[in-house]
Structures are given as C-alpha cells and as structure tokens.
C-alpha cells in the first residue's frame, strides 16, 4: 500500500468520523459555527460601511496642523484617509441680512435687493483684506486656490463661475461681481433662476445654502436673506483667517451669535463610480449570479432545494466575511475595492465542494441511517475535496509570490477564505445537509403514521391540496425524496409558481425586507437625511426657529434684544466682542484679534429678526453631499478618495435701514407688485418637491420589484418537473448519480444474498414468513424471509437433509440418475412420442391426435422409448427458439408461464383425455430448452411407484415447473404432472398426487385448495385434507399477503392427503399460460386469447373473457376483484369480475405485456419493449411511461401505493409512482452486469426477494420506523 | 428549449474575451478567411438540405458566440477607459461611443470563429472534451477571464516583465483549471500568436497605438490575454456544442 493510499484511507476515515459527529449533534454544531462566524466578523464593524456618502472627521482649530503623509503611531480615532494636506480649505462667510425695521412702504423686492447688494461690499472687504505680521504680508490672493479654465463643456457656467483666479464663490457671481450690473438688473429673481434646473442648483452653489433657506423670493415671510461667500483656500493660515474673522465681526457684529468656531471638519469623499466602471462591475456580478445559478441548480434529491442552495451561498459568503474579518483582526487593512474583488473571490473559492458533498450524500443508499449516510457521503468525497483544496492553496500560494501588493492581498484573502470555507463546509453545510435529510425522513414518517393504526383500507384520496397532487396515500413503506411541491408533475408551472409565492409569501417578504434596507440605506447615506432633518425640526420647534407664518408670537419681538433670554442659546452666550470699527481694511498681527469694542450700533429692536441657531453652525451640512465634489469637478479637480477641510463659518449680520433699501431700488421693482397668491405658489413649490420624491420612490420600488422578479425567474429552475415524462423517462444511464460522473457508492447495507443453489433459480414462492425457491437442478430450499437463513434443503436425490454443502454432490448424483434414466429407456414416454412428431406440424397432427387421444394410462408402460425423438427435438428446436424470442437468454430460468407465452409450442393443446400421455411430447420440447443450460434434467421419467401419504417418494427425475407455498406446505408441480406437497420446515414429502400426467405449468394454492394448470389446457382442482391426530389446527400469526385468511399451519403429525376434486378437462383450447387465484376466484389465461374465471369452491366456470387478439401473458387479480390482463398483442384489459364485462382496453406496448400490477389508483404494466407504463385505473388513460434499459427484466412489484420496484440487470430500481422518478437503484452484486432479475416478489415486511442467477437477493426497503430509535 | 437556453445564456452572462483596443481588428483580419471557409461549408451544407438541423445549430451557436464576444469586448473596453471618470455622464457616454466602433464586431467574429473551431477540432482529433463540462464551470471560467483583464488594467506592477509574467501564469492557470486538453492549448497558443501579429500590423500601419508600448508596438501582456480569451471562448463553444447535442440530458 503506497503512502498515497494510506493517506487516502486516513482522510476518508477522518471524514467518516466527522460526518458522524456532525449528523449526531446538529444543533450544537450549528450554534458553534454561527458563533465562530460572528466572532470572526466582529472586526468588520470597525471598517467603514460601503457607500458613497462622505465621511467626516472633526479636529480642533487651535492646534491644527496639516497631517503628515506617514501614518503616526498614536492615531487614536483618526481615520486612515486623514493623511496629507486636504485638497482645499473651505472658509464660508455666512451672511444674514435683513432690512430693519420693516416698513410697510417697502415692497417685497426690498427684502433681498439691498441685502444682496451688500454682498459686493463684503466681497470687496474680503478680497482686499491683508494681514501682515512678522512672517510677511498675506492677502487672499496668496492663500486661495487658484483655478484655471472651467472644464470643457461647461460653457454655460462661465458666466457665473470664476476662472483664472481665486476660487471665491458668492451670489455676486451672478452679476460678475460688479455692483453696476447688479444695480441695473431689473429682475433679480429672473437672473438667479435663469440657471435652474441644474443639479446641484447654481443657487445652492453660489449662495452656499440650500435654495429655500436663502430667503431670496417674493414670499419670504422672515424677511431675512441668507447667503454665504465661499472662499476656497489652498493653504491654511491661522493668523490671516483669524484677522479676517475679526475684521468681519467688527464690521458686522452678530449680536446674539453663539456659533462655535473651534472645530474644523474634514470631509472625505469616496470614489465616484462612473458608468465606465459600473458596467464591468455589473457584468462581473451577472457572471457571478449565473455561476451561482448554474451551480445550485445541480442540487437535487433533497428536501428543500432552496434551503440547501441558500446554505451553500451562505457558506461561501460568510467564509468571505470571515476571511476579511480575520485579516482585519491581524492588522491587515483591506485596501482593495471590496465590491470589485468580491466576485472573483467567490469564483475562486467556489461552490463546487458544497455541491460535490451534496451529491455524494444524496447518492448514498436511502435506507441507511442519516448519520451513516452523511458519514459515507463525506468519506466518499474526502479525497477529492482534500486534493482540490491542496491544489487551490498551491495556486494561490504561487500567486502570493508574485510580489505585487494587490495580488498578494487578494491571495491572502483567498487563502483565509478558502480555509474558512473549508471549515464552514465541514461544520455548517454538512450539518445543514444532515438536518435536511432528516427532515425528509421525518416528513415521510408523518405521512405514514396514520397507516400504523390499522391496515390501510384504500381510502379515497383526500381533497386535493392546491399545490400538490394527492399526497401518497398512507402506506407502510414510502420513500419520498423530495417535497411534492418541487416534483409535482401535473400542475402547470405557472400555477405552481403562484402557489409557491402564495404559500411562502416570499415576494412580499423579500420586498418588505428590501424596502426596509433601501430606506435604511437612504437615511444612512444622505447627509441631508434624517439627522439634519431632525435637527431642523428641533430648531423649528423652538420658539425662535420659525418666526415666520402669520403674525409673530409676541415674545419673539423682544427676545433678541435681551440676549440672556434667548432660549436657543443654550451654548452660552459670549459677551459679544465689540470691536472698534477699524477704518481701514488692514489688520496688524499684534492687535488684530485683541480689539474689543462696543457695538457700533444696536440692532434695531424691530422685525425682522436675525437669529443664529445651531443649524447655522455647520450650514454646509444642509447642502447636497455632492455640493463640494461638483464645485471642484467644474475645474477638473476630483475629490474622490480625498478630503477637504471645512473651517468654522464666519457669521456676518447685516442690518439695513429702510432708507437704504429704498435707495438701492431699481425703478422697475415697484412696478412688480408681488403676486397675490404667494402662499399657494410656495405650497405648490414644496408640494412639487414632495411629489417628485414620491414619484421617485415609487419608481424605485417598482424597479426593485421588477428586479426581484427577474432574480426569481433566474434563480428558479425552469424545468421543475415541467416535462415530467422526460423526468420519468430518465434512463438508467443518467441516474442522478451518474449525471455528475460519480459511480454509485457501494452501499453499506448491501442486499442480503441467499446462496446455496447450484443452478439458476426457477421457481420462487413465499407466504410472507417463509420463502421457497427451486433451482434448475430441482433442489428446493426454504428460507426464512426475515433473516435469510436457509431452513430446509429438499434435495433432489435421496432425502438427504443437507446444508449447502451438497452442491457438487447433488450434481454428480443427478448426472448419474439421468444417466440411469437414459439407459432405462423410460417407457412411459412412448405414447406421446409418436404424437410429438406430429405435434411439430400442428395442422395434420391435431385431428390425428384427437382420434388417438383416448388412450388410457395403463398403456403408458407399453410405449416405446422416446428418448431419441426428444433428442431430435432438442436439436431442432433451439435455433428457432433462439431467433424468435427477443430475450431468449433471460427466459431460460424464467417462469414456466413466460416460457410458454414466448415460445408457444406448435403443439396440440386440447385433448379430450386430460391424463393422456399425449401431452408429454410438447412438454418435452419445452423442457429441453431449460436443460440446455447445462443439465440433462429433462428426461421425462415417470415413477409409477410413488405412493401417497408419508410413504410417498419424490419424483426426482422430472423438474419442478410450478411451486406454491402456503403455511408450511410447499406445493410443487412437476413436469411429469405430479403434484407434491412438502413440509417446508422438515423437508419431508407429505403427499403426492399423480392423477394427472400432463406437466403442471402453473399452480394456485388458496385456502386448502390447489389449482393446477396443465400443459394440455386442463385445470385440476385439488383439495388438501388434513387429518389431525390431535385435532389441533394451529394458525400461524403471520397472515398471508393482503387480507388473505391465515393459512393453516400443518404440523408434522398431520396426515395430509391431496385429492383431485374436479378436473376441468378442456378449460382452454391451448395451454394455460397464467393462473392466478384471489378472492375465491381462479383466473386462467391461455394462449387461446381468452381469460376464464372459475369459482374456487365448485370449480365452476363463471366467465370467459374475450377481448385480446393474442395469447394472454399476464394477469393480475387481487382481493378487490380487480382483474387486469395483458396479452401478446400489447393490449391491457381491465375487467369487472362480478359482471364479466370489460372495463377498459388499452394498447400500450409494442410486443407482449410481460407483467401487470395494480394499485388502488393505477395499473402498471411492463412489456417486451422495455417500457413501463402507468395507467390510471379508473379512466384507462396512460399517465406516463418509463423507458428502461434494453434487456432489463420484466419483473415488477408494488411495495406501496407509491413505490414501484423493477428488476434490472443486476439491480433493482425503486420508482416513485406519483412522479415517475427513479428513487434509488440497489445493486445486487459487485458485478452489476450479466445476470438480470427475472422474478421479483414483494414480501409483507417490505422486503423484496428477487432471483439473481443462482442466488436470491433479499433487499429490505428502508423503513423509517426502524430507523427511528 | 435550446433556443431558450441560448437566449438565456446570451443575455444573462456576457462573457468573452478580447477586449483590448487592438484585439478586435486583429481578430477580424486573420479570422476572415477561416470565416469564409466556414461560410462556404455552411452554404454547401445548406444546399444539401439534409443538414438543415446541423446548420441551424451551427448558425445559432455562432450567433451566440458573436453576441458574447461583442458584449465582452464592449465591457472590457470600458475597463480601459476607467479612472478618468468625470462627473458628467454625457461625457462618459461620449467617450464610450466615440471609441472605435469596429472593435466589438471584430471581437464578436473572432469569438464565433474560435468558439466554433474548438468543438470542431475536438471532433476531428477524436478526443471529445470531457473535463468539467457544465455551465457552472464555464461561468467560472468567464469570471476568471474577466478577472485577468481586470488585473491587467488595474494593478500597478513594478515593471512590465512582472506584469506579463503574472498574466502568463494566470492564463496558464486558467487553461489548467478549465481546459486541460492539448488541442485547447494548441489552439489557444495559435490564437494568441496570430492575434498578436495582427495587432502589431495594425499598430504599425497606424490604425491606433498604445500609450506605452513595450513589446515592439504593443503591450507585452497582449498574448496572454489573447490566450486566455481563446481558451474561454473555446470553453463556451464546446459547452454550446454539447448542449445542442445532448440537450435532454443537460439537466
């Protein structure tokens, strides 16, 4: 054994144990796995959430210094991006201006005309501000961000945005910063709104506050105009800014302003995703989805396909998360774009292992315990899993040595992901799989529980549930491998989709969850979202927040005057610095900020009031978060992955006197009285926004639904049982397990092989407890049907009760006997021999024989030896036999009935004298085919010396053609026409009846009565009489199959006699091929195209059923008086036994119908064309058909209402009758080819007995109850 | 059903190779005569109407491959135009459509030819490709191919040699993971060589040029991309060919 094999075995064993562990403790293991996933993912909380919203970081102004590029040791809460200088510093000067006191003589334009006009002087002030100290003289020109051309294609913006100079934005830009233009502008609002609509609006851009806060409109009730001057600085100079701030405050002090100015905010912008990048990204994701779809589609034969597919995806995803989490934990920060590399990671890790595991597990034998199935499936695939994983790790390790940082990082993630994926597969997925399989079995158990109460009376199907076909009726043994919903064949697909949706409410739930997530994301990412909204709400509700609207609350009028009473100044009100007005616009460094002076003028104690609230402190927050990126982008400066620093705002309060306002009026202003319906217009404006938002939300919702629907369509396999017939027709070649290139694993509980026979088994009989088999050598063995032990051997040579040792002995003995038989020139054949020659040509032979027929048995011994003639027949016949029947090879050991129907001997079949020996020649011809297998057992010898009763000696020279078993009596019909009764337990011959001479081709044993069909077409009715010495009649506990009355048990003391009560001489014109008995009826089918029904008690022929156009080949009758017959014409007839009428007549096969079985709802037939057809019993409509492999056996058995067993080449297959799906194939031996299963018996304990060459196979159908401890 | 499958395939998963600026034209030219031969054979087949089904199948496969190739070319071309993304969608779209229109059709044609050649070669050599024949694997292959393209565009390597070596290793890994057939390797190599030569010719004649050529006139990683592209398209082609034949069993 090489090292490799050793390793392989060890791995396999380890996986086996692991599988046992997982399946034994599913819940703890899942808990453990979830805990580890959560633990590993915990570090992810520290990572920034993905999203394009900007991220903020606040530092103090006083000790601000430009952050260095190198990461420093003690970063604290400092984010990664806070390195190096920002793109720019933003200094906003927030101006609030109002005309006060308001005069009724003023018009609405006055509200903003003169305040805006003041912007120009302020602008002048700022531009000309110069700060000089020891380090030199600085002006705005030296500090500000110099911009060049606007981005090409923005010509429209040229009029409003500065070019080639300082980036300084103010409302004055509308008028090119020229006071003259402003003054001569007749309609300010028109100028401002000319550039609408833009995103973000120019209004916002130039005013620096959102449009509705500016107050520049005709309907401004607050009569306060707000705007900002935005200075964009490239360098930070604290002293210059300080002096500017002081200067502006001196000029325009803000009385009650309590804005904090000690914090600057750094805003980091994420990478912008453009269409050019989005399309490849989307493509990769589509490929990823297709990959997942095609992968998970292969999951099959489990309880919940969706559940397992979900588990598979969860496994991969959480392994990725774990990988990222672990890497973060150990200090590796992901620098790659997660969204970009994610699909590749998934593809590298792959879903393959998970699928392989599933397939391996579901292809284990169904009858095993769940634990064992899991363990076996795992260990079967262990080697390939380990090999693949090792290969992948190697490849990734090679990638690691490329020394490219990005690839290294990717590889690192992939390696950790692979390992954690392996971990999850082993623990999480395996456990989920075991739970799934267990659920499957529990479902079966629930379904069959009612059946345990009593024997199942075939109930009418329950009401059809809307999504499923009638569930399989309660029956003791049911195998269901998938939920009916997924394997439903009958309902149209559309309906099933609807039902599925309705049942799970999947769509609603997904939409709900999606909507909630979507709203959450909106709220999270929108900087103007809920936070600012709430803040605004709070301040609006405060008394000073909204002085507008109708009249002013009385207390507002005085509040600003008494600064201490301002309720919003919770931050504390500094004694306002009262800088002395400085006549010039220059400040000196040493005294710039130290000047404190009285207020130059007291704010006029009248409306409108200018108030400063907390919301003004960081007024830029109210802007769109794309405000700054778009401003910079106009100059081709990108903020992606960079940050800007926003300096504390400089508040400026401007009060204008009414005279001033009137002076600055444009002549046209008074000509435009304000529209009389200002409020409505304003409402409409806001309403329009609302509607827009609502429409947008609606559209997004619809889009989401459509997306989900598409996703569902993509994910939902299109062919769930859509064409069930093709499902059903799945050939043996593409079993589920073969689809993926797996050989079916060797099952752990292999079918029990009953060995002992030396030759092919010919007859098989069982009564549920015992099993009798007879081989070509004539040996009868009795087995215990439960355990498979060989109880008795009835040897054909002497009454030697031997074990299986006698194989060769018997054969030797047999040869000697046959040799003796030859030399003895058995005379009894003489009479028939002359006829047999004629029999080959029926036309002339028939009348001749009719005349010569009435020969008496006494003449038998006088007949000459026929052996040579038989030999001739033997030589002649085989070629014709070989070429005519399609499946000669299988028929040799087959039922005698089969032999008859396929090789109808051209022999006379109706003889007036039943016991005449004239029928023996055809029987000889029949027999010769069987001995051709290698034994010369066909010599028809007759031992006239047999006696009845216990002194009976068996007839060893003729072969057993038919056998039945009831109680512990074996009835064996021999080719010589003798009927023997054996004690099955003791192996002693109890009785022999040799009233008939023609070979017994079929036997029926029912209620002390034995019916024997003979080769010449006669039916003999025997009665078994038991004379008990002790008067005891014991009944065995085990009833016969179905509701048959329990067979009496014959004890060895009984004297059993078997008497011919009636012989129907001419039951059929041609040989009887099939004989069945049930419910007090005996049904015989014959080559003469008719079926006859006899009453068992009085042997009276009730009906002769005509309807077939060929010989009868198969008959089914059961306790419920259902009679079905199949013929050589491929037709199947259903008859009413009570009236003798034909219920239905269908053609289903090209060729003979080889066997027929009925369940309460359907009829199953198999034919020579290797087709299994399932018919609806009541309507006679073909439900579906299963195409089998060529040459597989024709044997059929029904275990329960929904479980069908068929025999094949070296295997038996289980089919689900409701859906026509192949459930399982059980291989009987290692060499699956060669022997076919020809006979198949279903026992009461759900075991199946089938012959397999010279062996018998006992297959236990899995019973869930047995597995449930 | 096959049509449905194909349709689903062509719209849901777009994958193909040949993205690079240069590849399209290259494909077009050197595949043209092969295409012609295929067309003639198709026509002759059509004349003998016995082969109707086969021809239809061939044409359908060719169409699917063409679609896939063209779409992939478009998408992967976009990868090249990345980075300098402006905030104006109009600009991006303009860039997108101003790029040479002939690239996607050329790539599509090349894809169709290569994708049809692969199964054809398989059948001629008499060694049907059995390795990992399922759509999931094909999807994986496409994803890896897009990933290789992505890497060639986005990763910053120390030098071109390193980049080329890495990509070559990746391409070989792709072949080993998803193909493992000699014919696939040979055809891939042939494709790569021909395509590169053709690209060189195109650049030499001034149809377009590379910003920083390091391998005569083109980039040195071009052959690797072509190779992996050939293998990927071959994979698709084989799967399509198989799907057409054994559609009932595909599930």
Contact assessment for residue A596 and residue B49, using Cβ atoms and an 8 Å cutoff? no
pLDDT of residue B229: 92
Alpha-helical regions (H) of A867-1020 = 867-883, 888-891, 896-902, 920-929
Residues of chain B with Cβ-Cβ distance to A276 below 8 Å are: 78, 81-82, 85, 92, 95-96
Its ipTM equals 0.73
Using pLDDT thresholds of 50, 70 and 90, give the confidence band for residue A738.
very low
Using pLDDT thresholds of 50, 70 and 90, give the confidence band for residue A570.
very low
pLDDT of residue B193: 92
Contact assessment for residue A1156 and residue A1136, using Cβ atoms and an 8 Å cutoff? no
Q: Is the pLDDT of residue A128 over 80?
A: yes
| Closest chain A residue to the Cα of B95, Cα to Cα | A276
> Cβ contact (<8 Å) for B4 and A340?
no
pLDDT of residue A1132: 87
pLDDT of residue B232: 92
pLDDT of residue A1234: 59
- Minimal Cα–Cα distance from B46 to chain A, Å? 32
Residues of chain A with Cβ-Cβ distance to B151 below 8 Å are: 406-407
- How large is the average pLDDT for residues A1218-1240? 69
> Cβ contact (<8 Å) for B143 and A340?
no
More confident of the two residues A33 and A814: A33
Q: Is the pLDDT of residue A579 over 80?
A: no
Burial class (CB in 10 A: 0-12, 13-18, 19+), A706: exposed
Residues of chain B with Cβ-Cβ distance to A291 below 8 Å are: 136, 139-140, 143
Lowest mean pLDDT among A154-168, A403-417, A936-950, A1000-1014: A936-950
Q: Is the pLDDT of residue A314 over 90?
A: no
- How large is the average pLDDT for residues A769-777? 79
> Cβ contact (<8 Å) for A287 and B135?
no
Using pLDDT thresholds of 50, 70 and 90, give the confidence band for residue A455.
very low
More confident of the two residues A572 and A1214: A1214
Contact assessment for residue A37 and residue A321, using Cβ atoms and an 8 Å cutoff? yes
Using pLDDT thresholds of 50, 70 and 90, give the confidence band for residue A867.
very low
Predicted confidence (pLDDT) per residue in A335-381, tens digit: 666 667 788 888 877 788 888 888 888 887 777 778 888 888 888 88
pLDDT of residue A906: 42
HEC states along A768-828? CCEEEEEECCCCEEEEECCCCCEEEEECCCCCCCCCHHHHHHHHHHHHHHHHHHHHHCCHH
Residues of chain B with Cβ-Cβ distance to A340 below 8 Å are: 150, 154
> Cβ contact (<8 Å) for A280 and B13?
no
Predicted confidence (pLDDT) per residue in A381-413, tens digit: 888 888 888 888 888 888 777 777 777 888 888
Distance CA A21, CA A375 (A): 8
pLDDT of residue B63: 92
Lowest mean pLDDT among A85-99, A841-855, A959-973, A1210-1224: A841-855
Residues of chain B with Cβ-Cβ distance to A273 below 8 Å are: 85
What is each CA distance from A235 to A90, A232, A447, A588, in whole angstroms? 10, 9, 79, 20
> Cβ contact (<8 Å) for B75 and A734?
no
- How large is the average pLDDT for residues B227-234? 92
Residues of chain B with Cβ-Cβ distance to A349 below 8 Å are: none
Contact assessment for residue B109 and residue B31, using Cβ atoms and an 8 Å cutoff? yes
Partner-chain residue, chosen from B86, B140, B169, that has the shortest CB–CB distance to A347: B140
β-strand pairing of A650-656 with A1048-1049:
unpaired
- Minimal Cα–Cα distance from A960 to chain B, Å? 46
Query: For chain B, what percentages of helix, strand and coil (3-state, to nearest 5) are there?
Result: 75, 0, 25
Closest by alpha carbon to A1221, among A725, A745, A643?
Answer: A725
pLDDT of residue A832: 40
Closest by alpha carbon to B195, among B228, B168, B167?
Answer: B228
Count how many pairs of residues, chain A against chain B, have C-beta atoms within 8 Å: 123
Lowest mean pLDDT among A198-202, A617-621, A697-701, A976-980: A198-202
Q: What is the torsional sign of CA A554, A557, A561, A564?
A: positive
> Cβ contact (<8 Å) for A277 and B85?
yes
DSSP A497-558: HHHHHHHHTHHHHHHHHHHHHHHHHHHHH-TTTHHHHHHHHHHHHSTTT---SSSPPGGGGT
B250 touching A, CB under 8 A?
no
- How large is the average pLDDT for residues B207-233? 80
> Cβ contact (<8 Å) for A291 and B143?
yes
Chain B segment 157-196 residues within 8 A of A by beta carbon are 157-158, 162, 165-166, 169, 173
- Minimal Cα–Cα distance from A406 to chain B, Å? 7
β-strand pairing of A130-133 with A586-588:
parallel
Chain B segment 111-140 residues within 8 A of A by beta carbon are 134-136, 138-140
pLDDT of residue A266: 85
- How large is the average pLDDT for residues A89-118? 81
> Cβ contact (<8 Å) for B87 and A630?
yes
Q: What is the mean pLDDT of chain A?
A: 68
Residues of chain A with Cβ-Cβ distance to B248 below 8 Å are: 726
Highest mean pLDDT, choosing among A428-437, A486-495, A611-620, A1021-1030: A428-437
Lowest mean pLDDT among A528-537, A1079-1088, A1220-1229: A528-537
| CB neighbour list of residue A54: distance below 8 Å, 6 or more residues apart | A267, A268, A269, A270, A527, A625
> Cβ contact (<8 Å) for A406 and B154?
yes
DSSP B157-176: -SSHHHHHHHHHHHHHHHHH
Closest by alpha carbon to A1231, among A1215, A1253, A1250?
Answer: A1253
> Cβ contact (<8 Å) for A280 and B75?
yes
> Cβ contact (<8 Å) for A286 and B12?
yes
Contact assessment for residue A1171 and residue A1178, using Cβ atoms and an 8 Å cutoff? no
pLDDT of residue A1084: 86
Q: Is the pLDDT of residue A960 over 70?
A: yes
Residues of chain A with Cβ-Cβ distance to B96 below 8 Å are: 275-276
More confident of the two residues B151 and A860: B151
pLDDT of residue B14: 35
Q: Is the pLDDT of residue B29 over 70?
A: no
């Amino acid at each position: 054994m090489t090292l490799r094999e050793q390793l392989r075995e060890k791995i396999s064993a380890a996986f086996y144990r692991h599988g046992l562990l997982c399946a034994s403790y599913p819940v703890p293991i899942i808990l453990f796995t979830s805990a580890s996933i959560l633990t590993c993912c915990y570090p992810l909380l520290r990572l920034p959430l993905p999203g394009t919203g900007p991220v903020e970081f606040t530092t103090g102004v006083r000790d601000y210094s430009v952050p260095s590029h190198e990461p420093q040791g003690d970063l604290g809460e400092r984010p990664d991006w806070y390195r190096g200088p920002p793109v720019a510093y933003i200094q906003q000067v927030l101006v609030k201006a109002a005309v006060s006191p308001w005069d009724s003589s003023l018009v609405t334009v006055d509200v903003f005309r003169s305040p805006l006009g003041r912007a120009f002087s302020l602008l002048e002030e700022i531009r000309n501000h110069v700060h000089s100290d020891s380090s030199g003289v600085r002006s705005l020109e030296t500090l500000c961000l110099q911009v060049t051309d606007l981005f090409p294609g923005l010509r429209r913006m040229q009029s409003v945005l500065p070019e080639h100079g300082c980036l300084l934005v103010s409302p004055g830009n509308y008028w090119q910063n020229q006071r003259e233009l402003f003054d001569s502008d007749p309609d300010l609002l028109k100028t401002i709104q000319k550039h609408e609509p833009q995103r973000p609006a120019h209004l916002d851009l130039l005013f620096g506050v959102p449009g509705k806060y500016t107050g520049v409109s005709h309907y401004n009730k607050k009569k306060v105009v707000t705007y900002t001057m935005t200075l964009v600085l490239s360098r930070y100079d604290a002293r210059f800014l300080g002096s500017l701030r002081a200067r502006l405050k001196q000029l325009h002090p803000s009385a009650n302003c309590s804005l904090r100015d000690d914090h600057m905010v750094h805003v980091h912008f994420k990478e912008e995703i453009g269409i050019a990048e989005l399309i490849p990204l989307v493509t990769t994701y589509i490929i990823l989805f297709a990959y997942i779809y095609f992968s998970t589609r292969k999951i099959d034969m489990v309880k919940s396909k969706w559940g397992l597919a979900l588990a598979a995806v969860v496994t991969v995803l959480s392994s990725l998360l774990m990988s990222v989490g672990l890497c973060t934990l150990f200090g590796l920060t992901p620098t790659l774009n997660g969204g970009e590399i994610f699909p590749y990671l998934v593809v590298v890790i792959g879903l393959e292992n998970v699928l392989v595991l599933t397939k391996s597990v579901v292809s284990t034998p169904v009858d095993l315990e769940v634990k064992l199935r899991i363990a076996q499936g795992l260990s079967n695939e262990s080697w390939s899993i380990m090999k693949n994983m090792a290969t992948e790790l190697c490849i990734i390790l090679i990638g690691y040595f490329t020394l490219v940082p990005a690839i290294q990082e990717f590889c690192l993630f992939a390696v950790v992901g692979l390992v954690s994926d392996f971990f999850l597969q082993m623990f999480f997925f395996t456990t989920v799989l075991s739970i799934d399989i267990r659920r499957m079995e529990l479902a079966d158990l629930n379904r069959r529980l009612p059946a345990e109460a009593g024997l199942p009376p075939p109930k009418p199907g329950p009401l059809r549930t809307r999504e499923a076909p009638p569930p399989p009726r309660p029956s003791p043994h049911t195998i269901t491998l998938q939920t009916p919903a997924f394997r439903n064949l009958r309902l149209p697909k559309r309906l099933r989709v609807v039902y599925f949706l309705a049942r799970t409410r999947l769509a609603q739930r997904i939409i709900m969850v999606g909507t909630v997530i979507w709203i959450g994301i909106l709220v999270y990412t929108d900087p103007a979202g809920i936070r600012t909204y709430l803040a605004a709400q709070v301040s609006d509700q405060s008394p000073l927040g909204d002085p507008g609207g109708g009249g002013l609350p009385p207390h507002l009028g005085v509040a600003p005057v008494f600064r201490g009473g301002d309720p919003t100044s919770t931050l504390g009100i500094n004694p306002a610095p009262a800088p002395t007005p400085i006549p010039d616009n220059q400040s000196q460094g040493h005294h710039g900020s130290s000047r404190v002076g009285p207020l130059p003028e007291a704010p006029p104690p009248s409306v409108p009031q200018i108030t400063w609230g907390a919301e003004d402190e960081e007024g830029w927050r109210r802007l769109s978060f794309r405000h700054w990126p778009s401003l910079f982008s106009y100059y081709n400066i990108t903020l992606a992955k960079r940050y800007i620093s926003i300096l504390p705002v400089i508040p400026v309060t401007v009060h204008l006197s009414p005279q001033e306002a009137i002076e600055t009026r444009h002549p046209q202003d008074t000509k435009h009285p304000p529209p009389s319906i200002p409020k409505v217009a304003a409402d409409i404006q806001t309403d329009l926004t609302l509607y827009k938002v609502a429409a947008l939300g609606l559209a997004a919702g619809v889009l989401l639904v459509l997306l989900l629907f598409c996703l569902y369509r993509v994910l939902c396999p299109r062919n769930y049982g859509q064409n069930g017939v093709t499902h059903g027709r799945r050939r043996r070649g593409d079993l589920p397990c073969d689809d993926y290139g797996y050989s079916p694993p060797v099952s752990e509980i292999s079918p029990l092989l009953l060995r002992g026979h030396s030759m092919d088994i010919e007859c098989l009989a069982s009564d549920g407890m015992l099993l009798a088999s007879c081989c070509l050598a004539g040996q009868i063995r009795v087995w215990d049907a439960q355990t498979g032990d060989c109880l008795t051997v009835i040897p054909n040579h002497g009454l030697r009760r031997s074990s299986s040792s006698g194989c060769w002995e018997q054969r030797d003995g047999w040869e000697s006997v046959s040799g003796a038989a030859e030399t003895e020139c058995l005379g009894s054949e003489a009479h028939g021999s002359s006829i047999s020659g004629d029999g080959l040509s029926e036309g002339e032979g028939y009348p001749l024989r009719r005349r010569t027929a009435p020969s008496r048995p006494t003449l038998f011994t006088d007949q000459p030896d026929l052996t040579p003639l038989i030999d001739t027949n033997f030589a002649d016949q085989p070629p014709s036999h070989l070429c005519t029947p399609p499946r000669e090879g299988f028929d040799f050991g087959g039922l005698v009935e089969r032999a008859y129907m396929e090789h109808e001997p051209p022999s006379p079949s109706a003889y007036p004298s039943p016991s005449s020996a004239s029928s023996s020649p055809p029987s000889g011809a029949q027999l010769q085919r069987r001995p051709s297998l290698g034994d010369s057992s066909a010599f028809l010898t007759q031992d006239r010396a047999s006696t009845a009763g216990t002194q009976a000696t068996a007839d060893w020279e003729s072969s057993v053609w038919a056998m039945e078993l009831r109680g512990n009596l074996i009835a064996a019909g021999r080719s010589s026409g003798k009927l023997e009764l054996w004690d099955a337990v003791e192996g002693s011959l109890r009785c022999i009846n040799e009233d008939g001479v023609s070979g017994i081709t079929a036997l029926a044993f029912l209620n002390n009565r034995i019916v024997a069909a003979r080769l010449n077409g006669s039916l003999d009715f025997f009665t078994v009489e038991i004379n008990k010495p002790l008067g005891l009649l014991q009944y065995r506990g085990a009833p016969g199959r179905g509701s048959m009355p329990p067979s009496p048990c014959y004890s060895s003391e009984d004297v059993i006699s078997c008497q011919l009560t009636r012989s129907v001489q001419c039951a059929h014109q041609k040989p009887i091929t099939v004989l069945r008995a049930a419910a007090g009826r005996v049904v015989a089918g014959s080559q003469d195209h008719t079926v006859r029904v006899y009453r068992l008690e009085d042997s009276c022929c009730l009906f002769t059923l005509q309807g077939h156009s060929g010989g009868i080949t198969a008959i089914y009758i059961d306790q419920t008086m259902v009679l079905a017959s199949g013929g050589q014409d491929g037709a199947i007839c259903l008859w009413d036994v009570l009236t003798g009428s034909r219920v239905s007549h269908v053609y289903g096969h090209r060729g003979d119908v080889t066997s027929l079985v009925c369940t309460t709802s359907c009829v199953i037939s198999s034919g020579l064309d290797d087709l299994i057809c399932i018919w609806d019993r009541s309507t006679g409509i073909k439900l579906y058909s299963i195409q089998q492999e060529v040459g597989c056996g024709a044997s059929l058995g029904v275990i329960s209402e929904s479980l069908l067993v068929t025999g094949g080449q070296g295997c038996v297959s289980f089919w689900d009758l409701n859906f026509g799906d192949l459930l399982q194939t059980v291989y009987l031996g290692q060499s699956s080819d060669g022997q076919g299963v020809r006979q198949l018996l279903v026992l009461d304990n759900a075991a199946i007995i089938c012959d397999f060459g010279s062996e018998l196979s006992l297959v236990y159908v899995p019973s869930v109850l047995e597995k449930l401890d | 059903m096959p049509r449905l499958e194909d349709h689903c395939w062509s719209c849901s998963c777009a994958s193909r190779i040949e993205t690079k600026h240069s590849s399209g034209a290259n494909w077009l030219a050197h595949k043209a005569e092969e295409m012609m031969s295929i067309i003639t054979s198709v026509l002759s087949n059509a004349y003998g109407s016995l082969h109707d089904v086969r021809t239809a199948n061939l044409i359908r496969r060719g169409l699917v491959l063409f679609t896939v190739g063209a779409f992939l070319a478009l998408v992967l071309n976009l990868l090249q135009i990345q980075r300098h993304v402006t905030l104006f969608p109009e600009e991006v779209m303009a860039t997108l459509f101003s790029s040479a229109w002939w690239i996607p059709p050329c790539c599509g044609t090349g894809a169709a030819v290569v994708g049809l050649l692969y199964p054809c070669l398989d059948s001629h050599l008499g060694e049907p490709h059995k390795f990992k024949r399922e759509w999931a694997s094909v999807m994986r292959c496409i994803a890896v191919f897009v990933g290789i393209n992505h890497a060639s565009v986005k990763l910053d390597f120390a030098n071109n040699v390193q980049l080329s070596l890495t990509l070559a290793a990746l391409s070989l890994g792709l072949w080993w993971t998803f193909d493992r057939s000699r014919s696939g390797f040979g055809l891939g190599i042939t494709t790569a060589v021909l395509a590169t030569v053709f690209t060189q010719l195109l650049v030499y004649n001034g149809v377009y040029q590379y910003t920083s050529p390091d391998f005569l006139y083109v980039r040195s990683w071009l052959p690797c991309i072509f190779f992996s592209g050939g293998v990927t398209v071959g994979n698709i082609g084989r799967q399509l060919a198989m799907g057409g034949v054994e559609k009932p069993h595909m599930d």
